[in-house]
Amino acid sequence: MPILITSTGLSLPKAQKKFSEVLKDVSKKNALLITTAAENKSKNKYSILAKKQLLGYGVNKVKYFDLEKNKNINLSDFGIVYVCGGNTFKLMKYVNNSNFITSIKKFLEKDGLYIGVSAGSIILGPSIEIAGFGKNGDKNTVNLKNLSGMNILPYSVSPHFKTSEKIELEKFDKKVKYKVKPLNDEDIIYIKK
């Protein structure tokens, strides 16, 4: 169950190094890029960059996928699922309205590689409440009531963390029933179970 958790995807050296190491063990070199949270979806500059980066590492095929438009996802042809950043509340709404959670859990059991970027990292935890944290937090524009995450990880990730937010994040961490891990833009969390 390899999971690569990032704030900024494959743009920085630590994530690039780890991805190139992990890619050797991925049997199916096709990637599915989930663009649901991104503004302008597959036309978003970060979605386009992610596709270019994946292909540059030798991934055979990269396909865009939007859970807002298609509720049924089939991961059988893919060894990599890359979940783009954007509005976490919107992403979670469409994750919940699709077969994504069931599909991704089966995918991870078969050693598929999950790459989370910002919102795509947050949804792995027990709750997405952290998405609204801080001055630049996401706005719940979809009026999502249930803030439960996919519960794949026992903690929530706070991407784009800045040391100036440390005290506020510690207060947030104390008021919730799960742990919160800060993740700055240059760091990654790699999990292999």
> Any alpha helices (H) in the chain, and if so which ranges?
13-23, 45-56, 88-96, 100-109, 119-122, 166-175
User: What's the pTM?
Assistant: 0.95
- If one counts every other C-beta atom within 10 angstroms of the C-beta of residue 18, the result is 18
pLDDT one-digit tens code per residue, 77-135: 999 999 999 999 999 999 999 999 999 999 999 999 999 999 999 999 999 999 998 77
pLDDT one-digit tens code per residue, 144-171: 999 999 999 999 999 999 999 899 899 8
**Average pLDDT, stretch 170-178?**
90
How many domains does the chain divide into?
Answer: 1
Domain of 37, in residue numbers: 2-192
The structure tokens listed for 163 are 């040391």
- Which pLDDT score is estimated for 120? 97
Band of pLDDT at residue 63, cut at 50, 70 and 90? very high
CA distance 179 to 192: 19
CA distance 66 to 28: 21
CA 14 to chain centre: 17
CATH for 152:
3.40.50.880
